[in-house]
Structure 1
Amino acid sequence: MMLRLRSRDGLERVIVENPHTTTVSELKRIIEAQLRIPVHNQTLSTNQNLLLVKSREDLHRFTDMANPDLTLSSLNLSHGSIVFLTYEGERHVAGPAFNPAGSFGRKMTMDDLIAKQMRVTRQENPHCELVSFDRDCANAFQHYVNDTLAFAVKRGGFMYGTVSEEGKVEVDFIYEPPQQGSEENLLFFRDPEEEKLVEAIAAGLGMRRVGFIFTQTISQDKKDYTLSNREVLQAAEYHAESGLKEWVTAVVKLEVNDDMSADVHFEAFQISDVCVRLFKEGWFETEIKEDDDPKLSKMKKDVVVGVKDTKEVDNDFFLVVVKISDHQGPLSSSFPVENRNTQMTMKALKNHLDRTKSLPFVKRISDFHLLLVLARVLDLNADVPALTACVHTQTSIPEGYQILIESMANTA
């Protein structure tokens, strides 16, 4: 049986013979043997909040795996289950000394020399200290995927918000481009004109594009990977395109429990610096074949992983875990979202304005998806900045704009 271990080092795997007889203390000895972390330094839990602990005193709150005699099956752990691990001290993976001449004095090309120096290691810390999701926009995204798509096909979007000087990312709205999803693939049909409107709205709201969010399907929940090779490629592409070191990749998935109940989970990562570099420099094999192992990314040339040269890298080496929080942002997320199954009409605008009559007008239009509808018909250089500035500062909307927006709604 394979167990997945999530720690500050990312996701690693250990092999356990029998969950019905293996105890917590035996699991710790297995971790020591396979991952070189001393038993007395380990704290284990099935609660992911273990990774957020900042002091030793707080570790005592995680008692579900404190009894060394509990069996793994009694903790509902089975093949592919995730156990969270924190430990004291450092781990070092020693690599071989670099010998440009090779083991037997073989003459090496310049490509060989470059590849020998490209070492793939786990990145210890993310540039993003924390990512916080606006509750309304996160719920609007996951509810659509859960209620309408039933997590049967993939869905994605770009996250917009702010980045603090300390590296905290706040996500306040999600833009969903035109797209097509299947069980394994997610294809965005990028629309430059629409994205120009989105960027203008974001700029007026004092925000910017801060990350990529996508869902994994129920069928993927049975697979032995955190992100597939296709997902790593797509995430690395958008991270590289952004030029933002705090860029976040978020994954939303439905995890089915042993009692057949299901919970929606958000996970956040940063694609490591070395992964972004490999993508920019064209190291990745971008053509993925049907029989390729999805948990491995293929390289065009050898890279050094641990102590060996290889063209296949476990995707987990490229992922850096980011802590998650939530907040109540400045925008609502009750207006219909763009590029979904329903066609956007002015009737939606009328229904929204009728439903929010009791609120000040600026509150009634403080919704990115509504502003995108307005931006399609208003002047991008004059009207959009004026409206978004009012929303950003929550000041009164000029009467002329109120009359204009209401008249647009009344044409429905």
Structure 2
Amino acid sequence: MILRIRSRDGMERVTVPDLSTATVATLCSLIESHLGVPAAVQTLSLDHNLLLPSKAQSPALDPATPLSSLPIAHGSIVYLSYPADLRRAAAAPAPPPFTPAGSFGRHKMTIDDLIARQVRVARQESPHCDAASFDRDAAHAFQLYVADTLAFAVKRAGFLYGHVDQASHSVAIDFVYEPPQQGSEDAAALFRDPDEEALVEAIASGLGMRRVGFIFTQAVGRKAGTAEYTMSGREVLQAAEMQAEGGIPEWVTAVVKLDVAEDGAADVHFEAFQMSDICVRLFKEGWFVTEFGEDDDPRVSRMKKDVVVGVKDTREVDNDFFLVPVKISDHQGPLSSSFPIENRITRVTLKALKNHLDRTKHLPFKQSSVPEGYQLLIESLAAAS
């Protein structure tokens, strides 16, 4: 079973060989051997508040607790806290060993061997998804919250659900699911809940839909001092992770940003991309540097080893090399909703359910309450209980 370990340094994965016999202490040992964090300084919790800067206490997992007794499954997130800069200090590179002259000849490495070991990064000319179409209401509801409530001051993200047209190699996006998250100017940390995502997947499946992409906004105060750029290194890393997890060739990443003209007029723009094949491959193979500093150039992604860009060996790749533009359009989808959207500042209440049923009482019950009211009904009853 694979568990996702979320820390302040990013998301990583640890494989637990036998869940039936493993305990929290076993997981601590696996984290120490795979991620280099000593078990003695680890604090594990299923509560995402463990990673927040506030002093709110989160219940730590008892090392003796069997993993099988916890509400976790394959792909679940476990939150890990440890002293700041611990892994940065441990990851400091050692000086390269002295190599006497002539060692190249003794190894008998050929030009073909050198070429085979190189990883080349080049622009991908054609996407696997020719077009992405957004439901107007879903797109409007997402950007309206970011514009009116958040004022584009922090990032917001979500997953796109809809249909894949295999014949035309296109996707139609009909609704957006926004998981629990904490946004800042430069990052959107997702506190993903497997149980909640399972409900969303069940509803989508009942509608004949599936997850087809990822969407995020860019804050107006994001780090810019160098020049304009389409995606930052953090955004490329997160988008590559989501596309690798998505598992379909047509997966799309949508970017929503606010453009302000010289006269002060502001327009909200949607753009769609796919991360290139080489980008997803480099992510899966662990080439990306996943830690970011204040002085890092947001226009580039840093690699752990040299790659070839053009004719030059480098560890910094312009993010534009990883982006493959996708044509974007809109449509009027089959769904409508007047409910407050979950995981936002606005709380979902029973009154919202009553108002919805009053507005749709002239419709058959199935049409007026399902699937539009399904998520609200679950949340409202849970809140009432």
Residue of structure 1 aligned with 2:289, choices 272, 278, 285: 285
Pair 1:296 & 2:300 matched: yes
CA RMSD of aligned residues (A): 2.8
| Shift in CA distance, 107/334, structure 1 to aligned 2, threshold 3 Å | farther
Q: Could you tell me which residue of structure 2 aligns to residue 151 of structure 1?
A: 152
Superposed CA deviations along residues 227-281 of structure 1, whole A, max 9, x for unmatched, are: 0000000000010011111100000011001111000000000011110000000
- Which structure would you say has the larger Rg? 1
User: Which 5+ residue runs of structure 1 have no aligned equivalent?
Assistant: 1-100, 378-407
CA contact (8 A) 1:228 1:295 kept: yes
1:3-45 Cα distance to aligned partner (Å, 9 max, x none): xxxxxxxxxxxxxxxxxxxxxxxxxxxxxxxxxxxxxxxxxxx
2: distance between equivalents of 1:104 and 1:265? 56
Query: Counterpart in 2 of 1:136?
Result: 137
Q: Deviations over 1:123-157 (max 9, x none)?
A: 11111111000011100000000000000011010
Gaps of 5+ in 2: 1-101
Partner of 2:366: 362
CA shift digits 1:373-411 (9 cap, x unpaired): 33568xxxxxxxxxxxxxxxxxxxxxxxxxxxxxx79x8
Deviates more, 1:331-340 or 1:148-157: 331-340
The whole-number CA distance in structure 2 between the counterparts of 1:277 and 1:232 is 13
For residue 136 of structure 1, what is the amino acid of its counterpart?
Answer: D
Query: Where does residue 316 of structure 2 map in the other structure?
Result: 312
Q: Matched residues in 1 for 2:137 and 2:117: separation?
A: 48
Higher relative contact order (CA 8 A, sep 6+): 1
Q: Does 1:198 align with 2:200?
A: yes
CA distance 1:221–1:311, change in 2 (3 Å)? closer
CA separation of 1:348 and 1:276: change in aligned 2, threshold 3 A: same
Residue 234 of structure 2: SS of its match in structure 1? helix
Whole-Å separation in 2 of the counterparts to 1:323 and 1:138: 16
Residue aligned with 1:219, SS: coil
Q: Secondary structure at the match of 2:171?
A: strand
TM normalised by structure 2 equals 0.67
Q: Give yes or no for contact 1:115–1:301 (8 Å, CA) kept in 2.
A: no
Q: What is the number of equivalent residue pairs in this alignment?
A: 279
Secondary structure of 2:259 counterpart:
strand
**Identical amino acids, percent of aligned pairs:** 68
**2:222 is paired with a residue of what secondary structure?**
helix
Query: Is residue 258–residue 266 contact of structure 2 (8 Å, CA) maintained in 1?
Result: yes
- 2:182–2:190 Cα contact (<8 Å) kept: yes
In structure 1, what is the equivalent of residue 343 of structure 2? Answer: 339
**2:228 paired residue number:** 224
Cα distance in 1 for partners of 2:148, 2:177 equals 19
Helix, strand or coil at the partner of 1:300: strand
| Separation in structure 1 between the aligned mates of residue 331 and residue 149 of structure 2, nearest angstrom | 25
Q: Is the 8 A contact 1:140 1:333 kept in 2?
A: no
Distance in 2 separating the partners of 1:280 and 1:273: 11
The residue type paired with residue 307 of structure 1 is V
- Name the CA distance, whole Å, in 2 between partners of 1:114 and 1:202: 46
**Structure 1 position 186 matched with structure 2 position 188:** yes
- Distance (whole Å) between structure 2 residues aligned to residue 239 and residue 163 of structure 1: 15
Choose from 261, 264, 286 the match for 1:257: 261
Contact 1:302 1:310 in 2 (8 A): yes
**Do 1:332 and 1:367's aligned partners in 2 also have CA atoms closer than 8 Å?**
no
Aligned partner of 2:216 in structure 1 is: 214
Match of 1:238 among 220, 242, 246: 242
Aligned counterparts of 1:220 and 1:251: Cα–Cα separation in 2: 14
Equivalent-residue separation in structure 2 for 1:263 and 1:105 (angstroms) = 63
